Amino acid sequence: MFQLSIIKDTVAVQPAQFGLPPEQAITNDLNKKYANRVLHDVGLCICVFDLAEVGEGKVRYGDGCLWYKVIFRLVVFRPFASEVILARVKSSDEDGVRLSVGFFDDIYVPLVYLPEPTAFDSKERAHFWLPGSEVTSSHELLDSALTDRMYIDAGDVVRVRVESDEFHDDEPGPPKAHEGVQQARELRRPPYTITCSMSEQGLGPTSWWRNAGVETMDEG
């Protein structure tokens, strides 16, 4: 779920920080720049792991900062495809389930990756699974007895498999002269989304499988 990425960058240490040991000041600056941000095609940065290489601090014309060329290792959140992770259900809607791991919550389980057969109960605002049922249409599913339904409620801890992840860079380009200032803000996509699946034996809310022995596995 976490990885180390090696990154090269140039940081400016403000004169006010000259009292600190240089590595401390550089680490602070790097954390300020990267922590809790999404790097395109890398992942969500957590914090600096260590500094691998630091060049000589140089003063440039125009400011009093010391500029360091740094190669450092960064702790990045980027679960790999097919990795199994634990997460909490944040919310559910007609399109699927949204999960959260606390520090990151653009994790989605679309309908196709929910266990078969499932239906969305709009009264409870939650999806439910009917294990062992043959019916497929959502009408028939919604007619089922409440006791047979296994709900995926908000706040449940679920075990999911990462299927894919996507990065979007929706930086607005430079404002165009003929459009003027008023610019309709289009829907912003999250910069990093993870798509997960729970359509497998053993996946889904952990409470479903807590006491399931080998017998359950034989069905699948």
Partner 1 sequence: MEVLNQRSALLSNYEVLTLLRELESDHLARTKTALRIKKEEEAAGLPPRQQAPPDDVCENLRTVEVEAIQYLSADFQPTASQTPEGISQLTRNLAQWDLTKAEKLQIVNLAPTEPVELYVVVEELEDRFGDKMDDMLNTIKASLREAATPAANGDEPQQAMQVDHVVYSEFQEDYQGDNHWDYDANEVVFDDAGEGAGIEGDLHVEDD
Short-list 70, 76, 124, 133, CA closest to 103:
76
Shortest Å, Cβ 161 to partner 1: 7
83 binds partner 1 (CB under 8 A): yes
CB of 133 vs partner 1, minimal distance in Å: 20
Cβ proximity to partner 1, 49 vs 67, nearer residue: 49
Interface characters, 140-169, with partner 1 (x: CB under 8 A): -----------------x-x-x--------
Is residue 77 within 8 A of residue 44, CB to CB? The reply is: yes
User: CA-CA distances (angstroms) from residue 67 to 16, 18, 124, 160, 197?
Assistant: 14, 12, 56, 44, 46
Cβ 77 vs Cβ 160: under 8 Å: no
> If binding is defined by CB under 8 A, does position 67 make contact with partner 1?
no
User: What is the size of the binding site for partner 1 (CB under 8 A)?
Assistant: 53
Contact between 2 and partner 1 (CB under 8 A)?
yes
Q: Which is nearer to partner 1, 47 or 143 (CB)?
A: 47
How is the chain split among helix, strand and coil, in percent rounded to 5?
20, 40, 40
Question: Reduced to 3 states, what is the DSSP secondary structure of residue 115?
Answer: coil
Find the shortest distance in angstroms from Cβ 169 to partner 1: 14
- To partner 1, the closest distance from the beta carbon of 202 in angstroms equals 4
Q: Which residues contact 156 (CB under 8 A, 6 or more apart)?
A: 88, 89, 205, 207
For partner 1, which stretch binds (CB under 8 A), given 111-119, 126-134, 185-193, 194-202?
A: 194-202
Give, as one character, the DSSP assignment of residue 147.
G
Tell me the C-alpha distance between 27 and 18, whole Å: 13
Q: Report the interface residues with partner 1, using CB under 8 A.
A: 1-9, 14, 16-17, 20, 28, 31-32, 35-37, 39, 41-42, 46-47, 49, 71, 73, 75, 78, 80, 82-84, 86, 101-103, 157, 159, 161, 200-203, 206, 209-210, 212-214, 216-218
